[in-house]
Amino acid sequence: MHDDRSITEHRLRRVLTERIRPAVHSRAVPLGIGRWEALGEPVPVAEGLAAPYAPCAAGESWGPAWGTTWFKVTGTVPAEWAGRTVEAVLDLGFDRMMPGFQCEGLVHRADGAVVKALNPYNDWVRVADSAAGGEQVEWYVEAASNPVLVDHRATYEGDRQTSGDQPLYRLARMDLTVFETEVWELVQDLEVLHDLMVQLAEGDARRHEILRALDAALDAVDLDDVPGTAAAARARLAAVLAAPANASAHRISAVGHAHIDSAWLWPLRETVRKVARTASNVVGLMDTHPEFVFAMSQAQQLDWIKTHRPELFERVKKKVADGQFVPVGGMWVESDTNMVGGEAMVRQFLYGKKFFLDEFGIDTHNVWLPDSFGYTAAMPQIVRLSGSRWFLTQKISWSQVNAFPHHTFWWEGIDGTRVFTHFPPVDTYNSDLGGTQLAHAARNYREKGRGSRSLVPFGWGDGGGGPTREHLARARRQRDLEGSPRVEIERPDAFFEKAHAEYPDAPVWAGELYLELHRGTYTSQAKTKQGNRHSESLLREAELWAATAAVRVPGFRYPYEDLERIWKTVLLHQFHDILPGSSIAWVHREARATYARVREELRGITLAAQLALAGEGTTELVFNCAPHARRGIPAGGAGVPQGAGQQVTVEERHGGGYVLANGRLLVEVDGRGLIVSAYDLEARREAVAPGQAANLLQIHPDFPNMWDAWDVDAFYRNKVTDLVEADALEVAEAGPDAVTVRVSRSFGRSSAVQSITLRAGATTVDMVTEVDWHETEKFLKAAFPLDVKAERSASETQFGHVYRATHTNTSWEAAKFEICAHRWIHVEEPGWGTALLNDSTYGHDVTRDMRPDGGQTTTVRLSLLRAPRYPDPETDQGTHTLRFSLAPGAQIADAVREGHALNLPERLVSGAGPVAPLVAVDEDAVVVEAVKLAEDRSGDVIVRLYESRGGRATATLTAGFPFSAASETDLLERPLSPTAVGAPSPDGTLPLTLRPFQIATVRLHRA
């Protein structure tokens, strides 16, 4: 037989495009159109309905960037359409290739009730399944003219304050039409069979069987009467569509989804509207397709629907009760996991799962994080302590260098906890359920021979409309179809139950899930990151002192509602495109303002509690919120500090510069303002590598291959400029308690002032760097070349630390050329090490070099600032104050202590006398992470603590108040068993036994 495959395939494409698809909506009559421009921000629905509408017609331009245009459409169903299915086609001017990244609309009835959303693949509204003729149509379309910002070019359209005012869209079509059901079904038949056919091997008989059936179907279509011949064409396809799948066919659990970034190329306020649009489409689809299941993560997004669209939320609640609308994820938002602090990660689950329990009575079991940029090794324990059992991600498929070896596996965290994890081999969280993607999932699946199933999230994301009736048609046809994986729409928990039962001995992956891409997100938008870190620290302070005051001071009210509201604000801004710095300028401008408000409110809450605790008096008290004693003041207490130790001296250095000493450290700052010596007097060890200088600012070109704000590519290291020229060097402060040397530098269009301080009794050298940053596509680092032979670095992560190799033996290690650390990073050789501490920096790199003297230099660098142009062309421009410290001779325990001290500064309050801690722990390895009152408003005290050094620990917790009982709880403060908490002693103490890096949440039931 002659090979005519390409001819038939080309014929199919043209006939589908030019004849069959256009015939789905026939007999069009135009609707009447009016328009009204809502100036400024979106208006309430009632205002849009009551607005004065001016006449409008298809073809007119509309919508400046970030504007809202209301369209009123009216019409009458022609009498001759009686008995036909009638739909309106409302095309706002969509580009079919960009669902979710352009204009969107929401249709309302005249009474304000939501009908459905309009999107590129969902531009229809059903009028009648069987029209009587004469039906009146009156709808109001709230149309958002969001600019298209996906082309990775620098643009000022990403902020309403700088965007243009020219119309972006042209109204394409607003018609009443007859919906030709049989033609639509034919389209689905042809698309499914074509997509399946082209995935089959050329020698596969099934491929040729489908080809001939398609050819026959096209022969049956009368191009002048597609509706009249569609049924005949479908009959020619019936046999190939009825052939059952092979017994060994891969099994796909299809889950409806609409991944919506809580902010990204649009501001938070637009996400509020995006989730309403998507939810309206989803619940409408459920009404007509009872088999449809949709999973929605991010409690914040559901809370937005509840707040802004209460009538829609009631429809969602009904579908949740029916089992079709499935809350997943258990988190407040799909947060970043690399930079979020430990307690904040706990609150993501606490408030997320609590919302689902309170609103729907559902305790979610799976963690749904498809798109975050890598996953901390602390996550498995947090997941399990939240009451969740399973973890799903997708993003690791984006790694540039190494293909992840598993799709279903046990993920082991830093403490040894394991969580059953799935990584969908379809390699997308916005699947179209087409043959290409399903075939890829089956071929790509790495568990063949042991497992047989994977999960596929399907639907247009980011406001593209979610799943459509076309998706469901594909699922129906591929439920049991020869040559295709078997597709079953089902709930995520059903998939996990089956996958777990089938593959209980899945392989184990230990440690972080590092994304070999988007490493620049540890640094971009420094003020957003600083706002996050400082807010986390301020929340710790506010809760500790408010809880202490509520227990100790009669009449003091614990601010439950205020703290929960602020926590949710901080959690929202930990979303994986806000905290990582990969959103438009509007998002980060608002974030900076939000963090400023949070700071002031939390300082007010903290001060009120401290004043209540301190009482009336003139004694200057130091409140110590850190989890370790300092200057004689206990952790979580307040008092008068003891002497700091030997005074600090400063002398001029031979050759220029200064020498600072305090009996513990000897620090030399040369004439360039660089630290050339940091000598540990007790250990008699030099921290700075011979001939090198620390606290060295370095600048690199920074022009990654694609994702500007997201990426730094390894080749940035090929060129570096050391900033060694000093404009001025002086002793800015010289007293017995502290000496500060200040150096000023200019470079490019920017400048920096660095203050280097040594304090009495300190084992750290403290640095404050004030940068007025006006560079473009540059990367600013601070380098510390250390005289340490370190095989690995330790970086603080949530509730512990993670080790990473300093060598590049394999591609896996080489790919980690930029890494994330929280408050500290530590390198050591047996017996001696050094830590680098920070108050708001996350990006780091660690390299090692051999010197001519045979020694090894391990260089630790902090990533301070970047200047990408997309999506915010002004990223990081302006002034920044960054704090970090060098701790020569530090061990892990010292890094933990000093990291907390730097991030939790002492607070001075005048009062009557010392304040005893509300709770105390007698073992420094056990760190108290949070002290608060219980969420149930019982007044019980919640203490969250963890083992911080990676070893076993026994400790005694002492409560500074009477309690009747104690129990260990999960993160939602529900009792746990077995427990790390022993029985309380008569003296009010509580024994604790912790595994390495174990988190324990203790509930103290107040007497």
Annotated catalytic residues are: 371
Q: Are 125 and 117 in contact (CB under 8 A)?
A: no
Q: Are 24 and 179 in contact (CB under 8 A)?
A: yes
Show Cβ contacts of residue 788 under 8 Å, excluding neighbours closer than 6 positions: 687, 827, 828, 829, 832, 833, 834, 856, 858
User: How would you list the strands of the sheet with 685-686, edge to edge?
Assistant: 649-652, 657-661, 665-670, 675-680, 685-686
Neighbours of 639 (CB within 10 A): 18
Q: Which two tokens stand for residue 703?
A: 């022009």
Query: What is d(CA 970, CA 993) in angstroms, rounded to the nearest whole number?
Result: 16
Show Cβ contacts of residue 225 under 8 Å, excluding neighbours closer than 6 positions: none
Residue type, 747: F
Per-residue exposure over 439-463, b if at least 16 CB sit within 10 Å of its own CB, e if not: bbbbebbbbeeebbbbbbbbbbbbb
Q: Are 487 and 252 in contact (CB under 8 A)?
A: yes
Query: What is d(CA 554, CA 52) in angstroms, rounded to the nearest whole number?
Result: 58
Q: Which two tokens stand for residue 808?
A: 């590049």
Q: Which two tokens stand for residue 615?
A: 């009482």
- What is the 8-class DSSP label of residue 431? B
Degrees to nearest 5, angle at CA 898 with 894 and 899: 115
Per-residue exposure over 652-674, b if at least 16 CB sit within 10 Å of its own CB, e if not: ebeeebbbbbbebbbbbbbebbb
Query: What is d(CA 378, CA 518) in angstroms, rounded to the nearest whole number?
Result: 20
Query: What is d(CA 993, CA 977) in angstroms, rounded to the nearest whole number?
Result: 14
Residue type, 616: E
Query: What is d(CA 229, CA 241) in angstroms, rounded to the nearest whole number?
Result: 19
φ, ψ of residue 908 in degrees (nearest 5): -100, 125
| Of residues 613, 382, 548, 517, the one with CA closest to residue 941 | 548
Q: In the chain, what are the helix, strand and coil shares in percent, each to the nearest 5?
A: 25, 30, 40
Q: Is the peptide bond before 424 cis (omega within 30 degrees of 0)?
A: no
| Of residues 758, 788, 872, the one with CA closest to residue 161 | 872
Query: What is d(CA 359, CA 352) in angstroms, rounded to the nearest whole number?
Result: 11
Which alpha helices (H) appear in 734-840, and where do they start and end? 811-814
Q: Which two tokens stand for residue 663?
A: 């009996």
| Of residues 254, 392, 413, the one with CA closest to residue 331 | 392
Query: What is d(CA 253, CA 1001) in angstroms, rounded to the nearest whole number?
Result: 36
Query: What is d(CA 181, CA 188) in angstroms, rounded to the nearest whole number?
Result: 11
